Amino acid sequence: MKKGDVMKSVLRVINHYFIFFLLVAFVITCCTMLFVSVLSKSVGIELTDANISVAAKLTFWNVALLSLIFTVVDIVRRKLTVERPVKQITDAAEQIVKGDFSVRVKPQSKCGTDETFNRVIECFNKMAEELGGVETLRADFIANVSHEMKTPLAVMQNYGTLLQAPELSDEARIEYAEGVVEGCRRMADMVTNILKLNRLENQQIYPVASDFDLGEQLCECLLQYESVWEKAGIGIETDIADGVTVRADAELLGHVWSNLLSNAFKFTPSGGTVRVRMTADEENATVQISDTGCGMSRETGAHIFEKFYQGDRSHSAGGNGLGLALVKRVVDIMQGDIGVESAVGRGTTFTVKIRRR
């Protein structure tokens, strides 16, 4: 312990002693004066200066002794019931500041301890647990971003190197340039999705609700992929109820349909079919987007809404594992529900339920 801390502790003890001394002196003096006054009147005893002097000396030493006892008892009490739990909490907080989020504070014994400390300790342990989870997610997020950026950067570097060859033909030069452009597009899309997801998760995007026809929005989103399904020879089937109006954020909900339709066309082979179906009742509108693609296993389906998760690496060149994470976050903000049914080789169906009001 430092010299300055020792002096502070000594001064604190002296301060506590004098507080108790004055308090006990006041109480005992009042009680003694009242007792002597009543006794002298009742018995008729006349107090002399000698009697008062002896009584005053006895009272002084009595007060000094009682004050010392109270001071020692209070110091021990504070050490056990206040300073010890406070030190444990502050030591744990210092460990968290250093980056150790595994630290936990043991609850105090209920005997002789203020229960308030246990409530503080409980909240502290929950905070440490949440911070540990956030740190893990942050580390995973950085690792995933680094991994996803490494691939397009490597591709662009290779194509850039090939483009420097002087004997390169025009066809090859165009092909390699398109590879560089595609790599740039993937990185730009990933950064855009990361920013959107970050703003959604941190509640920096607030839904702006308005009434609109959900069927019309679905048709508009579907028509954006007309060139895709025509080029790939994919059939389209629709069963969309008319006149279904919802009150929601149209722009955010548009991201949901665009991502789900994009995945459906990406995983559906030539000659396959993509189906869009919408039904509604008084409370909810239910949208199903199905494909006849490769499907996925139960294990893959359990993780598809996680950031950067890509179950089928054969199609990973077309995405970055953020689309479905965005979809899930938007649906959650809309207080809706999303589920998936899929089987390997039999296609996938996403079902989104949106509250109409």
- The 10s digit of each residue's pLDDT in 311-330 is 554 444 445 567 788 788 88
Distance between CA atoms of 67 and 163, rounded to whole angstroms?
91
Phi, psi of 52 (to 5 degrees): -65, -40
* Residue of higher predicted confidence among 35 and 331: 331
Q: Report the pLDDT value the prediction gives residue 112, as an integer from 0 to 100.
A: 57
For a pLDDT cut of 70, what percent of the chain falls above it? Answer: 74
Q: Report the pLDDT value the prediction gives residue 72, as an integer from 0 to 100.
A: 79
Q: Report the pLDDT value the prediction gives residue 206, as an integer from 0 to 100.
A: 61
- Decide if pLDDT at 18 tops 50: yes
Distance between CA atoms of 132 and 102, rounded to whole angstroms?
7
Phi, psi of 239 (to 5 degrees): -145, 80
Mean pLDDT confidence for 131-143: 65
Mean pLDDT lowest for which of 85-99, 231-245, 339-353? Answer: 85-99
Q: Report the pLDDT value the prediction gives residue 316, as an integer from 0 to 100.
A: 46
For the ranges 64-73, 76-85, 119-128, 275-284, the maximum mean pLDDT occurs at: 275-284
Mean pLDDT of the chain: 79
Tokens of 128: 């440490």
Mean pLDDT confidence for 244-268: 87
Distance between CA atoms of 354 and 254, rounded to whole angstroms?
13
* Residue of higher predicted confidence among 21 and 144: 21
What are the beta bridge partners of residue 342?
348
Q: Report the pLDDT value the prediction gives residue 233, as an integer from 0 to 100.
A: 92
Mean pLDDT confidence for 107-121: 75
Q: Report the pLDDT value the prediction gives residue 275, as an integer from 0 to 100.
A: 94
Sequential DSSP letters for 36-92: HHHHHHHH-PPPPHHHHHHHHHHHHHHHHHHHHHHHHHHHHHHIIIIIHHHHHHHHH
Q: Report the pLDDT value the prediction gives residue 290, as an integer from 0 to 100.
A: 93
Task: Look at residues 191, 184, 269 and name the one whose alpha carbon lies nearest to residue 228.
Answer: 269
**What are the respective helix, strand and coil percentages of the chain, to the nearest 5?**
65, 15, 25
Q: What is the pTM of this model?
A: 0.51
What are the beta bridge partners of residue 353?
286, 337
Q: Report the pLDDT value the prediction gives residue 315, as an integer from 0 to 100.
A: 47
Q: What is the number of other CB atoms lying within 10 angstroms of the CB of residue 215?
A: 21
Angle at 96 between CA 94 and CA 99, to 5 degrees: 115
Residue located via tokens 């996925």: 296
8 A C-beta contact, residue 224 and residue 260: no
What is the distance, to the nearest Å, from the Cα of residue 14 to the centroid of all Cα atoms in its chain? 47
Residue located via tokens 């647990």: 129
* Residue of higher predicted confidence among 141 and 86: 86
Tokens of 196: 């959107």
Q: Report the pLDDT value the prediction gives residue 248, as an integer from 0 to 100.
A: 86
8 A C-beta contact, residue 231 and residue 270: no
Sequential DSSP letters for 116-162: HHHHHHHHHHHHHHHHHHHHHHHHHHHHHHHHHHHHHHHHHHHHHHH
The band of 74, judged by pLDDT with boundaries at 50, 70 and 90, is: confident
8 A C-beta contact, residue 261 and residue 253: no
